[in-house]
Amino acid sequence: MEVNSKEWGFIRMSEQEEDLIRRIWGLIAGRIPGRKPEEIERFWVMRHGESFAEKRLKRAAGERG
């Protein structure tokens, strides 16, 4: 699925949605011995945050050029 730069704006979530996301990190951490939900979330953001940022920059550059 192609995503345009307009879709990369700030996403507002309800309190219930945020709670579900926190629970998911907890479920994942529960399946990996010795890991806390915060560690799983931090790993995901560090691992995928940069690659997502690079993709956004490349798309933005392609739209301008």
Q: What is the pTM of this model?
A: 0.59
pLDDT of residue 19: 95
As a whole number of angstroms, the distance between CA 52 and CA 4 comes to 13
What per-residue string of b and e applies to 11-46 under the rule 16 or more CB within 10 Å gives b? eeeeeeeeeeeeeebeebbeeeeeeebeebbeeeee
As a whole number of angstroms, the distance between CA 30 and CA 24 comes to 10
pLDDT digits (tens, 9 = 90+) for 10-64: 789 999 999 999 999 999 999 999 999 999 999 888 887 777 777 777 777 876 6
pLDDT of residue 17: 95
